[in-house]
Amino acid sequence: MERPELVDKIKEILRKVAPQAEVFLYGSEARGDAHVDSDIDLLILIDKEKLTFADITEITYPLYDLELSEGVSISPLVCT
């Protein structure tokens, strides 16, 4: 899968698992200078007072599945 398709797939996953989240792409992918081995850095903001481990895994596990299937490192940072 090409990088733009991969980013679209990430968006699709996040719309399903965290529809109210604000998601920001940062790092080399956002700057447009990512290489084949660059990771995809994501800041995922959730409107909750406190995040539980279950909240975080519900959001990140589908991304890890994509990471494994595509061989690309995805680095999600989930915050409130």
pTM reported for the whole predicted model? 0.90
Radius of gyration of the chain (CA): 12
H or E element, residue 75: strand 74-79
Structure tokens at 15: 């719309």
**Residues contacting 11, CB < 8 A, separation 6+:** 23
For every residue of 7-41, DSSP letters joined together read: HHHHHHHHHHH-TT-EEEEESHHHHT---TT--EE
pLDDT tens digit sequence for 24-70: 999 999 999 999 899 999 999 999 999 999 999 999 999 999 999 99
Locate the domains of the chain by residue range.
3-79
> Which of the four CATH numbers 2.60.40.10, 3.30.930.10, 3.40.50.300, 3.30.460.10 does domain 3-79 have?
3.30.460.10
pLDDT band at 4 (very low <50, low <70, confident <90, very high): confident
